Structure 1
Amino acid sequence: AGGGPDGGTFADRSLSQGLSVLVGLGLCVTMLGLGCAVELGQLGPQLRRPVGLLLALLGQFVAMPLLAFLLALIFALDEVAAVAVLLCGCCPGGNLSNLMSVLVDGDMNLSIIMTASSTLLALFLMPLCLWIYSRHWINTAVVQLLPLGAVSLTLGSTLLPIGLGVLIRYRHPRAADIMVKVSLWSLLVTLVVLFILTGTMLGPDLLAQIPASVYAIAVLMPLAGYALGYGLATLFKMPPHCRRTVSLETGCQNVQLCTAILKLTFSPELIGSMYMFPLLYALFQSAEAGLFVLAYKMYGRDSYKQDTLGEEEDTDISYKKLKEEEVADTSYGTVSTEEHNSIQMEPTQTAL
């Protein structure tokens, strides 16, 4: 039972319009913050070696949609619940992954590039993935009414705040830094408010219609996404701090976009209580990511130091001889290593 047909309680509430406004504004602020996090100077290296783009493509539009589809089949969801799960699985990465990447000493440039590129790719690939995987339920009314055009329109509307954010970063970097922090806080506040308001408007009757299998998927899906992301990064032989980043990027979905699409493109009578699924997903993806961060803070610091030393391996080899000798004289000057990581050059007087 997915709770789709009986959506009258949700439809008749006067707060429904206010919820739509909140969802739209929250999505705009989130996308603006995402644009403010993008530095144009970082795009060149990423485009020349587009590993981040490839991982965003594989993680968000191959692994996660397939995972959502398989979970919907395994738990034998009805068409309403299946569409909600598929929609969440086909969404691009969310800003939560950027915050979590900072907390686990990940690669922030990689995190931002993956989030931004998956959001742009979603304009074309998200409707395509929805169309492909919803074919299993092709004879159902929900899938026949699946508003792929409206989904594309909602995705397209996110390009404006993203572009504005990139412009703010280019012209006013300090203002962009503030906006990034504001967007992260707004993400957390908006999700909490949405959770409370949606639960209030749906009421206990509709909430009781959410099957246990939907809760199980909300728990398993982000967990499996984190594992798939780490596996992908390992397959590409990325260093550990990048593996942590890709793991979080893959499992963290843009639930604000998912709720916006459900709220703005589906009728309440059609989607019913399944409007709660992305909010449940947000709850469990945050809790599970928080546990990963806690585990890393307690046990992973030494591995981070090894990551950093590994990145400097070439430099260590190059200066090995200099570190063994206190002073090395050259025809250009004197190179001294007074401290472990300090190299100073003192020019010598050369007679002309």
Structure 2
Amino acid sequence: MLQRIGHFASKTFLVWVLLVSIIAFTAPHLFTGVGDIIPYLLGVVMLGMGLTIKVSDFKLIFKYPKPVITGVVLQYTIMPLLAYLIVKAFQLPPDIAIGVLLVGCCPGGTTSNVMSYIAKANVALSVTITSISTILAPVLTPGFMYLFAREWMDVSFMSMFASVTKVVLVPILIGLLVQRFFKTFSEKSEDVLPLVSVIAISIILGAVVAGSRELIIQTGLLIFTVVIAHNVLGYATGYFLANVLKLNYPDKKAVSIEVGMQNSALATSLATVHFNPLAAVPGAVFSLVHCITGPILARYWAKRAEHVERSKRSIA
């Protein structure tokens, strides 16, 4: 039963995100005080990731280093650079600029693994890139923010390093330890983890939308334009460079999805802790946008794969 509920929650993730966003926007009082627990909710999501990461996820880097290294490098170069160029091109106000840069400097999100599965991409590669980029986040996310964001606002590398470590690395390590010493509990928890993650991410998004309602009304069109451009250019540039580097087709799809889909919940959490409320809005909007564009792109690729398979069968 729990497994079925978990699968249902994953498949209908977009529905819950949209529903919670609408509720938060129309009745923001329902989320009063929830913003204070965003880092803890993100910690729960990361704990779930730690409980599902397998040692085999990291073996892929030794068997097939090129696609893994390509994915991780593109993840941490394309999105920060795109964010910086978009911020400059649109001449964004400092708070929005910081929020967009935060999204760009974060690792990939776990939703990308589901999208890779739907797209018939290399799921193992997707999981490996997500895992490695997330573990590197405590150093690389504050490092890139310090590099790119100082033009708009003071950024403390050590303060952000401590935050990312607490809400990302520590929960993942706890999850890995639970896997190691409480294997039965870990295996049973896998059935309910998708549901817990969907609930936690939806609440995070709802809290940010509720807390930033007036700011979204004032700047909504601008932020949506910027976020959509960032997201779509991430997919396109990731695929293009993976093609230039001559990765195979399933790997190109996985890299494209990994690059385009960010851990926007982490960006939202960091924005609420270190910057002004408006800085959290791009992360919230990105959560919504990539949950729409991701399935569209994944289903397009899935249909193409099915068409190729049918063509091969008809020829045979």
- TM-score of Structure 1 vs Structure 2, range by shorter chain: 0.7 to 0.9
Q: Deviations over 1:95-132 (max 9, x none)?
A: 11011111122222211110111112222121221122
Count of residues in Structure 1 that have an aligned counterpart in Structure 2: 284
SS in 2 for 1:300: helix
1:59 Cα offset (Å): 1.9
SS in 2 for 1:210: helix
Q: Quick one: which amino acid aligns to residue 301 of structure 2?
A: Y
Of 279, 286, 290, which residue of structure 2 is paired with 1:281?
Answer: 286
1:15 Cα offset (Å): 5.5
Q: Deviations over 1:258-286 (max 9, x none)?
A: 111112223xxxx2333221110111111
Of 191, 194, 199, which residue of structure 2 is paired with 1:184?
Answer: 194
Q: 1:128 maps to which residue?
A: 143
Q: 2:25 maps to which residue?
A: none
* Conserved? CA contact 1:67–1:89, under 8 Å: yes
TM-score by length of 2: 0.80
SS in 2 for 1:106: coil
Q: Provide the rounded CA distance (Å) in 1 between the counterparts of 2:131 and 2:113.
A: 11
**Gap regions ≥5 residues in structure 1:** 1-12, 138-142, 308-352
SS in 1 for 2:121: coil
Structure 1 residues 77 and 42, CA, compared in 2 at 3 Å: closer, same or farther?
closer
Q: 2:20 maps to which residue?
A: none
Of 292, 300, 303, which residue of structure 1 is paired with 2:305?
Answer: 300
Q: 1:209 maps to which residue?
A: 218
* Conserved? CA contact 2:236–2:256, under 8 Å: yes
* Conserved? CA contact 2:105–2:141, under 8 Å: yes
Q: 1:102 maps to which residue?
A: 117
Q: 1:257 maps to which residue?
A: 266
Say if 2:238 is the partner of 1:238.
no
Structure 1 residues 87 and 104, CA, compared in 2 at 3 Å: closer, same or farther?
same
SS in 2 for 1:238: coil
Q: 2:233 maps to which residue?
A: 224
Structure 1 residues 65 and 178, CA, compared in 2 at 3 Å: closer, same or farther?
farther
Q: By percentage of residues, which structure has more helix?
A: 2
Q: Deviations over 1:324-344 (max 9, x none)?
A: xxxxxxxxxxxxxxxxxxxxx
Q: Provide the rounded CA distance (Å) in 2 between the counterparts of 1:304 and 1:182.
A: 34
Of 257, 282, 288, which residue of structure 2 is paired with 1:248?
Answer: 257
Structure 1 residues 85 and 111, CA, compared in 2 at 3 Å: closer, same or farther?
same
Structure 1 residues 299 and 49, CA, compared in 2 at 3 Å: closer, same or farther?
closer
Q: Provide the rounded CA distance (Å) in 1 between the counterparts of 2:310 and 2:247.
A: 16
Q: Provide the rounded CA distance (Å) in 2 between the counterparts of 1:14 and 1:189.
A: 15
Q: Quick one: which amino acid aligns to residue 152 of structure 1?
A: F
Q: 1:18 maps to which residue?
A: 34
* Conserved? CA contact 1:105–1:304, under 8 Å: no
* Conserved? CA contact 2:82–2:230, under 8 Å: yes
1:171 Cα offset (Å): 5.2
Structure 1 residues 55 and 37, CA, compared in 2 at 3 Å: closer, same or farther?
farther
Q: By percentage of residues, which structure has more strand?
A: 1
Q: 1:350 maps to which residue?
A: none
* Conserved? CA contact 2:204–2:265, under 8 Å: no
Q: 1:328 maps to which residue?
A: none
1:42 Cα offset (Å): 4.2
Say if 2:74 is the partner of 1:62.
no
Q: Provide the rounded CA distance (Å) in 1 between the counterparts of 2:75 and 2:108.
A: 7
Structure 1 residues 95 and 306, CA, compared in 2 at 3 Å: closer, same or farther?
farther
Of 208, 216, 226, which residue of structure 2 is paired with 1:198?
Answer: 208
CA RMSD of aligned residues (A): 2.7
Q: Quick one: which amino acid aligns to residue 210 of structure 2?
A: T
1:178 Cα offset (Å): 5.1
* Conserved? CA contact 1:210–1:273, under 8 Å: no
1:149 Cα offset (Å): 2.3
Structure 1 residues 203 and 43, CA, compared in 2 at 3 Å: closer, same or farther?
closer
1:148 Cα offset (Å): 2.8
1:162 Cα offset (Å): 1.0
Structure 1 residues 77 and 168, CA, compared in 2 at 3 Å: closer, same or farther?
same
**Gap regions ≥5 residues in structure 2:** 1-28
Structure 1 residues 70 and 207, CA, compared in 2 at 3 Å: closer, same or farther?
same
Q: 1:318 maps to which residue?
A: none
Q: 1:335 maps to which residue?
A: none
Say if 2:94 is the partner of 1:79.
yes
SS in 2 for 1:185: helix
Superposed, which structure 2 residues align to 1:25-40 within 5 Å? 25-40=40-55
Which deviates more from structure 2 when the two are superposed, residues 59-68 or residues 37-46? 37-46
Structure having the higher Rg: 1
Q: Quick one: which amino acid aligns to residue 272 of structure 1?
A: P
Of 21, 37, 46, which residue of structure 1 is paired with 2:61?
Answer: 46
